[in-house]
A and B are shown apart, each in its own frame.
Chain A
Amino acid sequence: MTVAERAADKGRNQRRKATSVVMLSVTGLATALAVVPLVWILAYVTREGGRFLTPEFFTSMPTPVGVQGGGVANAIVGSAILVGLASLFAIPPGLLAALYASRRPNSPLGLALRFGTDVLSGVPSIVVGIFAYTLIVLPQRHFSALAGGLALAVIMLPTVIRSTEEMLKLVPRDLREASLALGAPEWKTAAKVILPAAIDGVITGIMLGVARVAGEAAPLMLTSFGNSYLSTSIGEPIAALPHTIFVYAIAPYKDWHDKAWTTALVLIALVLALNVSARLIMSWRKRRLGGR
């Protein structure tokens, strides 16, 4: 190697090292950049929404344009009913299907189930809204909380199945085998050994599912439609928090925009609290069971 060649080599190596450092810093910047919208949204919603957040906001009904005060009690009750209906429809079949998926993952039905769960989780929520509309609203000829609950249940189902299945798989095989060896039938083993062993994981899965559907507005536009009065009937149109945000946000009134921010603060606090606690439980559980 001549001196000139060695010098050229050294220069090239320095360039390579510099490229590496620059590109690696760029990936760090990208990560920082991705956190910006999250912080910005949280800060803005808290600032704008916090100004009008009073106890009255939770307990009183909406007021007409220009009238001070008022709240979103109807939407809070409505969201609770809708999410409750969705949980009622989605959790029992979700748990059982997850049980099947964790016991027979490679049987034909097990593979089909995984495929079906993937398909369901990929269906846009607006399309699920059309589905619930054709199934319930169209035959009945009126919007209802029931149709909204059904739409949310379909959206919730894959989340519940996936996370429950993952948690059931973490339960040590020995537990199941010990129970069967003692002569307990499968159903008793599932109900009294496997589910209790995975119960915190199952609950976190349900919490994530609830958080996911509590923020859905699109399918509700076609199914539960919204209601400016307090309704607790599942056969009637019903209000919901995300739907209320949409209606207030696109209206041309300043005081409604303020209410949209406050409602958004309530909704985002609920959804993030569910997510954060679910993930904390999940990581704690994985450390406990997954470390074997």
Chain B
Amino acid sequence: MTRSVVAAAFERTPAWRRRTNRALAHGDRPFWGIVLAAAVLVLLIAGAIGFELWANSAQARSAFGWAFLWTATWDPVTGEFGALPFIVGTLITSLLALLLAVPLSLGIAIFLSELAPEWLRAPLSFLVELLAAVPSVVYGLWGLYVLVPMVVQPVARVLHAALGFLPFFEGPVYGPSRLAASVILAIMITPTISAVSRDVFRAIPRGQREASLALGATQWETIWQVLVPYGLSGILGAVILGLGRALGETMAVTMVIGNNLDLSASLLHPGYTMSSIIVNEFTEAIYDLYLSALIEIGLALFLLTLVLNLIARLLVWNVGRRGPREARA
């Protein structure tokens, strides 16, 4: 009975439709074609970004060569461009931000994965992650009118008074400064670093903790001498991921760094970063070489974050892969 219904339906279908249905695998062949195209499109976009930056910075690259990276002049009037002040500014602010954010984030990760009671974990993780959802420009606004005058500037005055003989704390003390940018950046990258390192800690097999505690280690010794070394590559990955975010951060930094081509080593002076020069001058770049030089800074930023992200992913990936295998063994 059932067979005859199927057979009847089969016979009712015209021969040409049966043939096309079979050829298209009942629609699966075009479907996979589209899915495949979407997957390839993502790769194409990633490639196209690199290509467009490369192609559109050709003029600056041929005019200045590699010296672009260590030339300190940035003079649109004479057409002389060098990216040194911006590269230095980006590196100083990002590294100082790491210095502030890493200990804090590690503390958060340890607390969230090892100490917090079960009912507190989810809400606290959520609050820390919400910090990453606040738009950059709102950080900038809050930084400019609240954090810098109320916190950073008083601290800067104290630093200058106490350590003013060091070139890093040379006066005069400004409000918007490299220090201000670093503090804002530190707040912004803390959720990234702490979330990734928390996941790294959670991926470490229970046996590691139990073995250490059974040997008589205190909980802190277990964390510091067993868990941290075990997850070190993952934590390093988290830190590099945070660094990648800090390097590319634009609006908040632009609003609090003061945008000044100051080449002194002082953290208390205003500075400039690669992203903030792009956003400040891009729409004012009135001739091709000027625009091309700005795009070359974008290219450098792109390559820098690309390499950092690659390293970070490899490191984090390693812990994830090692965890389950050793847990099984």
Q: Is A271 an interface residue (CB 8 A)?
A: yes
Contact between A100 and B39 (Cβ–Cβ < 8 Å)? yes
Contact between A96 and B34 (Cβ–Cβ < 8 Å)? yes
Q: Which of A102-141 contact B (CB under 8 A)?
A: 103, 109-110, 112-113, 116-120, 122-131, 133-135, 138
Question: Which one of B63-71, B164-172, B302-310 contacts A?
Answer: B302-310
Q: Is B127 an interface residue (CB 8 A)?
A: yes
Knowing A93-B42, A96-B38, the reply to whether A245 touches B306 (Cβ < 8 A) is: no
Q: Is B145 an interface residue (CB 8 A)?
A: yes
Knowing A100-B35, A134-B295, the reply to whether A221 touches B282 (Cβ < 8 A) is: yes
Q: Could you tell me the distance between the alpha carbons of A268 and B112 in the complex, rounded to whole angstroms?
A: 26
Q: Could you tell me the distance between the alpha carbons of A161 and B39 in the complex, rounded to whole angstroms?
A: 10
Q: Could you tell me the distance between the alpha carbons of A126 and B299 in the complex, rounded to whole angstroms?
A: 11
Contact between B49 and A131 (Cβ–Cβ < 8 Å)? yes
Contact between B137 and A215 (Cβ–Cβ < 8 Å)? yes
Q: Is A1 an interface residue (CB 8 A)?
A: no
Knowing A124-B305, A187-B28, the reply to whether A130 touches B53 (Cβ < 8 A) is: yes
Q: Is A264 an interface residue (CB 8 A)?
A: yes
Secondary structure at the B interface, as helix, strand, loop or mixed, is helix
Contact between A127 and B38 (Cβ–Cβ < 8 Å)? no
Contact between A31 and B135 (Cβ–Cβ < 8 Å)? no
Q: Which residues of B contact A283 (CB under 8 A)?
A: 122
Min CB distance A12 to B, Å, is 11
Q: Could you tell me the distance between the alpha carbons of A207 and B38 in the complex, rounded to whole angstroms?
A: 21
Task: Kindly identify which residue among B106, B131, B140, B249 contacts A246, using a CB–CB cutoff of 8 Å.
Answer: B140
Q: Could you tell me the distance between the alpha carbons of A40 and B142 in the complex, rounded to whole angstroms?
A: 9
Q: Could you tell me the distance between the alpha carbons of A61 and B48 in the complex, rounded to whole angstroms?
A: 38
Contact between B220 and A222 (Cβ–Cβ < 8 Å)? no
Task: Kindly identify which residue among A33, A92, A109 contacts B40, using a CB–CB cutoff of 8 Å.
Answer: A109
Q: B264-299, CB under 8 A of A: which get 1 and which 0?
A: 000000000001001100110000000000110010
Among A40, A44, A45, A100: residue with most chain B CB under 10 A: A100
Q: B89-124, CB under 8 A of A: which get 1 and which 0?
A: 000000000000001111110111001100000101
Q: Could you tell me the distance between the alpha carbons of A120 and B302 in the complex, rounded to whole angstroms?
A: 10
Min CB distance B105 to A, Å, is 8
Q: Could you tell me the distance between the alpha carbons of A206 and B141 in the complex, rounded to whole angstroms?
A: 27
Contact between A217 and B136 (Cβ–Cβ < 8 Å)? yes
Secondary structure at the A interface, as helix, strand, loop or mixed, is helix
Contact between B111 and A30 (Cβ–Cβ < 8 Å)? yes
Contact between B38 and A120 (Cβ–Cβ < 8 Å)? no
Among A45, A130, A243, A272: residue with most chain B CB under 10 A: A130
Q: Which residues of A contact B250 (CB under 8 A)?
A: 124-126, 217-218
Contact between B218 and A20 (Cβ–Cβ < 8 Å)? yes
Min CB distance B300 to A, Å, is 10
Min CB distance A284 to B, Å, is 12
Contact between A225 and B38 (Cβ–Cβ < 8 Å)? no
Q: Could you tell me the distance between the alpha carbons of A161 and B131 in the complex, rounded to whole angstroms?
A: 22
**Interface residues of A, count at CB 8 A:** 91
Q: Could you tell me the distance between the alpha carbons of A20 and B222 in the complex, rounded to whole angstroms?
A: 10
Q: Is A154 an interface residue (CB 8 A)?
A: yes
Task: Kindly identify which residue among A113, A128, A268 contacts B42, using a CB–CB cutoff of 8 Å.
Answer: A113
Q: Which residues of A contact B40 (CB under 8 A)?
A: 109
Knowing A17-B218, A116-B46, A249-B255, the reply to whether A34 touches B278 (Cβ < 8 A) is: no
Min CB distance A216 to B, Å, is 7
Contact between B127 and A38 (Cβ–Cβ < 8 Å)? yes
Contact between B283 and A131 (Cβ–Cβ < 8 Å)? no
Question: Which one of A21-29, A52-60, A62-70, A197-205 contacts B?
Answer: A21-29
Contact between A27 and B108 (Cβ–Cβ < 8 Å)? yes
Q: Is B32 an interface residue (CB 8 A)?
A: yes
Q: B45-75, CB under 8 A of A: which get 1 and which 0?
A: 1101100110110000000000000000000
Knowing A126-B279, A157-B42, the reply to whether A34 touches B194 (Cβ < 8 A) is: yes
Q: A209-235, CB under 8 A of B: which get 1 and which 0?
A: 001101111100110010000000000
Contact between B49 and A268 (Cβ–Cβ < 8 Å)? no
Among A118, A127, A187, A217: residue with most chain B CB under 10 A: A127
Contact between B107 and A99 (Cβ–Cβ < 8 Å)? no
Contact between A123 and B302 (Cβ–Cβ < 8 Å)? yes
Min CB distance A26 to B, Å, is 6
Rank and list the top 10 A-B pairs by shortest CB-CB distance, nearest first.
A124-B248, A215-B135, A30-B107, A96-B38, A187-B31, A20-B220, A122-B309, A20-B218, A218-B250, A185-B26
Between A and B, 8 residue pairs with Cβ closer than 8 Å are: A34-B104, A40-B142, A44-B142, A93-B41, A93-B42, A100-B36, A126-B301, A218-B279
Known: A20-B219, A24-B220. 9 other contacts (CB 8 A): A24-B115, A94-B38, A99-B35, A130-B53, A157-B45, A211-B133, A215-B136, A245-B137, A271-B135
